[in-house]
Amino acid sequence: MVLKILIGVGAVLTLFLIVVATRPAEFHIERSITVAAPREAAFAEVDDFHAWSAWSPWEKLDPTMKRTFEGAPAGRGAGYAWTGNDKVGEGRMTIQESEKPSKS
């Protein structure tokens, strides 16, 4: 009986390790939303990390969050890093690509 349990646990562990080993080391997140505002205004708010404090829900969770800005002031190459409480955590973002809105 104990041997069957150990074999079962070993099989589950092996399956878990195979799944983890086949996952990519990096991932990409992309989201879209429809906003009732002119494209240029919405783009300006998202493209400049300095403007995020006015609308980001994370700012309300930790008003004492420490922020650093790197690279370009806005758009491609702009970087933003933060360190906050347990609700906010810490992380870093860099804008890899930035295209102004088109009329299409």
pLDDT, tens digit (0-9, with 9 covering 90-100), for 26-85: 888 888 888 888 989 989 999 999 999 888 888 889 889 999 999 999 999 999 999 999
pLDDT attached to residue 56: 87
Q: Note the pLDDT of residue 13.
A: 95
Put the strands of the sheet holding 66-71 in their side by side order. 66-71, 78-83, 90-94
* Res 19: pLDDT: 92
The pLDDT of residue 17: 94
CA diameter of the chain: 69
Distance CA 53, CA 87 (A): 16
Q: Is the pLDDT of residue 8 over 80?
A: yes
**What's the pLDDT score for residue 104?**
56
pLDDT of residue 97: 94
> Has residue 21 got a pLDDT over 70?
yes
Q: How are the residues of the chain apportioned to helix, strand and coil, as percentages rounded to the nearest 5?
A: 40, 15, 45
- pTM to 2 decimals? 0.62
